[in-house]
Amino acid sequence: MQESSDQSIDQRKTPKIWVLTLFPNHFKEFISTGVIGRLFSDKSVEIECLYLGDFSPKSFKGVDGTPYGGGPGMVMRADVLKACLDEVINLGGYKNPKEDLEVIYTAPRGKVFNNNDAHELKEKFIERERDLVFICGRYEGIDERFIESYVDQIYSIGDFVLSGGELAVQCIIDSLCRFLPSALGNDQSAAQDSFEDGLIEGPIYTKPRDFEGKEVPKELLSGNHKLIKSYNEAKKVEYTKKYRPDLYNEYRKTKS
């Protein structure tokens, strides 16, 4: 076991994400690849995955049980999850775990995660109020008593069912870490992302200028920055109307 650090959350330099999972391998590629991988390797943000199988009681040797009252599948045990969370508190040296940690579980019943949630989490996490703990469910889910006692927020990534929470957790971590200053290629790219102004991004183009007879729009080749800006703005509105009429209706309300 690692020695616990004595730092409080305020002194801690690097934001830290803990992942409690039965499949730590699921995170290997994720934390070592692309923009997100760079953030972890240059220590802009830390991540530590704990294997839930290491926290099963000796008398039992396992992480799950059959559901009381019957029903299909298996349920992840609250005592195993709690033992793993205690290890997070110990390793991280959190003095006030309720305040220092935001414990997030992902499940289809959760609030569907969106850009506003990503911003809220960013404020809590990157702007250093709290470190994050993600619980990855498997089987039928986790014992409700653990959720009642220790989970702060449940998120879903959409109205469909995954076989486990690992992918959902990676989606959330990815969207969040993109806000880190060191993740951005230039200062503007996060602000220009889809959803930031209630609109999705318009079309983008690169070389060749002619692809199978289709030319890049002439406005983008004009060199006239004002024209390019107004073209891009109009396209954002047009594309939002076409691809996300729900967002477009909201956008129109804010404009009227």
Q: Closest approach of Cβ 171 to ligand ADE, in Å?
A: 8
- Per DSSP, the residues of 99-144 read HHEEEEEEEEEEEEP-HHHHHHHHHHHTTTS-EEEEE---TT-B-H
Q: Looking at 178, 197, 238, 244, which residue is catalytic?
A: 178
Q: Looking at 108, 201, 219, 238, which residue is catalytic?
A: 108
Strand, coil or helix: what is 227?
A: helix
Q: Looking at 79, 120, 193, 201, which residue is catalytic?
A: 193
Indicate the residue among 146 and 248 with the shorter CB distance to ligand ADE. Answer: 146
Indicate the residue among 80 and 199 with the shorter CB distance to ligand ADE. Answer: 80
Q: Closest approach of Cβ 221 to ligand ADE, in Å?
A: 42
Indicate the residue among 56 and 156 with the shorter CB distance to ligand ADE. Answer: 156
Q: Closest approach of Cβ 165 to ligand ADE, in Å?
A: 5
| Residues sharing a CB contact under 8 Å with residue 116, sequence separation 6 or more, in sequence order | none
Is 72 in the active site?
no
Is 209 in the active site?
no
Q: How many CB atoms lie within 10 A of CB 177?
A: 24
Q: Closest approach of Cβ 146 to ligand ADE, in Å?
A: 15
Q: Looking at 48, 79, 117, 140, which residue is catalytic?
A: 140
Q: What does the binding site for ligand ADE look like in residue numbers (CB under 6 A)?
A: 106-108, 137, 156-158, 160-162, 165, 168
Indicate the residue among 106 and 240 with the shorter CB distance to ligand ADE. Answer: 106
Is 245 in the active site?
no
CA distance 222 to 219: 5
Q: Which amino acid is at 65?
A: G
CB environment 22-61: b (16+ within 10 A), e (fewer)? bbbebbeebbeeeebeebbeeebbbbbbbebeebbeeeee
Angle at 113 between CA 112 and CA 116, to 5 degrees: 125
Task: Just list the catalytic residues.
Answer: 108, 140, 178, 193
